[in-house]
Amino acid sequence: MRRKMISVASRLAAVVAAAAIVAAAGAGAGARAQEAAAEVAITVKDHHFQPGEIRAPANRPLTIRVKNLDAAAIEFESVSLRVEKVVAAGGEGAVHVRPLAPGRYEFFDDFHQETRGTLVVQ
């Protein structure tokens, strides 16, 4: 009987410890979630990004809001950012980017290769 009580107590202690670990991990995730993504906005008009250069903080998730004012769809793409997003004519889209190290990252409209811009991360 004593052995069974120790076993139950050990299991209970393990469950409490596991719950504490899960709660701590959740708190850490909550803190990361509170570090909201930085946002930048860019517009495409007459096959040009406006502005042609956008800036964002380093080491934070980033959302790039793309508004397409042209009569044709665009495909916002960047090899260095590892993203691509089709935005319908007259539409808007959000491109979600992982936290980035400081540097310059080029992007372009894959449907109109002459349409190019730069993201500067500082």
Asked if 54 and 120 touch (Cβ cutoff 8 Å), the reply is yes
pTM: 0.71
Q: Where are the domains of the chain?
A: 1-34, 38-121
Low-confidence stretches of the chain (pLDDT beneath 50): 12, 16, 22, 29-31, 33
Neighbour count for residue 30 (Cβ, 10 Å): 9
pLDDT, residue 17, reads 54
- pLDDT tens digits, one per residue of 47-66: 999 999 999 999 999 999 99
Contact between residue 40 and residue 55 where contact means Cβ atoms under 8 Å apart: yes
Assign domain 38-121 to a CATH class: mainly beta
